[in-house]
Structure formats: structure tokens, C-alpha cells
Amino acid sequence: MAAAAVATALGLLTRFLLREWQLNATLVAVLCALSLTAPHILARPHILALPVMVAWIAALIRAVDTRSAPPWHLLPLMTLWTNLHGSFTFGLAMIAPIACEALWRASPSARPVVARQWLSFALLALAAACLNPYGPEMILVTFRTVALGAALTTVAEWRSQDFTHLGGFEVIILGAFGFALYRGVTLPWLRIVMLFGVLHLALSQVRHADLLGMLAPIFLPGLWRNNSRRLLPPANFKRTSRSIDADSDDSDVGRSDRLAVAAQYRSIRQNYPNECNSIR
């Protein structure tokens, strides 16, 4: 059952990434996620909750990337998560930064509506999390566990990462940082907060390495597309799109090429207006 849960989580992650990433990049990300999760594939509740966590976070991020309403249909998933494992509080906590990003990316006129939608979603998710045999008491379990402090270090999986020898976790982290520096990847500040949040959890406690592997790629798909050289409009894109109709004397081939370029530019402008404005 544990293996099936991990396979389902990886399948959901792959399906989500393939919408935006190229096949090779998706394969590398999924293999890294598997490497970080493999030491924790045990017959325990936190593994059974992995598919729920991936589906929940991926749906929220997808709603932000597509500028759509929160995924109301996934609220029952929070109830299921609550009854599987105490990590559901992480899912509740992630609503805040994701909602802030949705509000940040919305147009000024749409922000009141977006704020009401995400506030309603957060309250309903909190109510869904209380549908368990212990009610709201389950939400406090996470804080009581963290409050144990130094006593947690007696359990190996609650200890911080060990860098006294080279391991898979260190190789993946260094490789990711090296790739980001080499390619000049840039992220909005709220995505950086989310990414650093799961990175902090993975560094502070061994058992959270799977969070980094499963969730870090989810924070990147739309932004990966924004950083792709193929999709960033060059400096003369705006002039090209405006002068398409004026160049009626050119060949059909040249005109069709420019029409394709202009259509691509308009699509980017429509889906990512803030990011295009920032690269002028």
C-alpha cells in the first residue's frame, strides 16, 4: 500500500509537470523526487497522505497559474487528509502564501473578488479539516509535536540532515542550485518563500525531504515557461506584432512566420501580463 501511495503521488506529479515542462525536464524532476522519497517509503500514515498532499498543492498552484477560482471540489480531500495524517496542517498553512500570490497577480479591479474567493476557500478548508473524530483538537497536535523541542532529536527521522558525508540529498540540492545559477532562473518573491519554506523543512528534519522532492517542482512549471528562451518575447516582438498587417507585400512564407510569432506573443501577453511587463 505504501508503494502504491508513492507511485500515485509520483504519477500525479508527472501529470502536473507534463502540462508545462518538456519530457526530459519532467523525467529528471520525478527521478529526483523518487530519490528523496525512497528512504521514507514505509508502511506509515505519512506515506499514505503523499498523493493527497501532491494533489492539493498542485491544484492550488494550478489555480494561481491559470488565474482561476480556488479548487472548491477538492475540499473533501482536506477531510481525507485530516483523517490520514497530521501533515494536513501543512496543507492548510500553504493556502496563505498561495492566496497571497493569487491576489498579487490579479488585476486591481479583480482583487476584491479574488480575496473573497480565497478567504472563503480557506475558511471552508479549515472547517473540512475539523471533520474528524477529535474535531479542531487535531489542528493543535502539530504545534504540540513541534513544542517537544530537543526531545524530537532522539528519533532519527526528526533530526536535521547529515552533511558529514556526500549523499543523494546533497547532490540533488547542489545540482539544483548549480542549474539555477547557470540558467539564470528567476522566481517571484512569493514562490521563493514557498520554495525556501519546504527547503527549510527538508534541512531541519530528515523526514521532510520528500516534501522538497514532491513540492519544489510544482512551484516552478509556469515560471519555467516564463524563463524559457523560446517563449520570452524579444525586444522587437511588440513592433513585429503591430507591423504584421503593414507588410502585405512580403512573401507568404515570411508572413506566416511573423503571424505565428505574433500569435505566440499575444498568447504570452494574455496569460502572463505581469511577467511580460517586467521584461520590457
Q: What is the pLDDT of residues 28-75, one digit of tens each?
A: 999 999 998 888 777 677 888 899 999 999 999 999 988 999 999 999
Looking at residue 246, its pLDDT comes to 44
Looking at residue 184, its pLDDT comes to 83
- For cell 479539516, the residue is 129
Tell me the C-alpha distance between 258 and 266, whole Å. 12
Q: Are 18 and 139 in a shared domain?
A: yes
Asked if residues 254 and 246 have their Cβ atoms less than 8 Å apart, the reply is no
Average pLDDT over residues 1-27: 88
Tell me the C-alpha distance between 119 and 125, whole Å. 10
The amino acid sitting at 18 is L
User: Which of 43, 27, 25, 46 has its CA nearest to residue 35?
Assistant: 27
Query: Cβ of 172: how many Cβ atoms within 10 Å?
Result: 19
Q: What is the DSSP letter of 272?
A: -
Q: Are 25 and 48 in a shared domain?
A: yes
Residue 232, judged by CB atoms within 10 A of its CB (0-12, 13-18, 19+), counts as middle
Least confident segment among 37-51, 124-138, 165-179: 37-51
Examine residue 252 and state whether it is found in any structural domain, yes or no.
Answer: yes
Residue 251 structural domain? 237-278
Tell me the C-alpha distance between 213 and 201, whole Å. 12
Q: CA–CA distance from 210 to each of 37, 45, 105, 269 (Å)?
A: 5, 14, 29, 35
pTM of the model: 0.75
Q: Are 133 and 158 in a shared domain?
A: yes
pLDDT (tens digit per residue) in 194-219: 999 999 999 988 888 888 999 999 99
Q: Are 164 and 247 in a shared domain?
A: no
Q: Tally helices (H) and strands (E) across the chain.
A: 15, 0
Three-state DSSP at 131 gives coil
Q: Are 115 and 151 in a shared domain?
A: yes
User: Which of 89, 57, 96 has its CA nearest to residue 216?
Assistant: 57
Examine residue 232 and state whether it is found in any structural domain, yes or no.
Answer: no
Provide the number of structural domains found in the chain. 2
Which residue, 185, 209, 227, sits at the end of a domain? 227
Tell me the C-alpha distance between 86 and 95, whole Å. 16
Average pLDDT over residues 100-129: 93
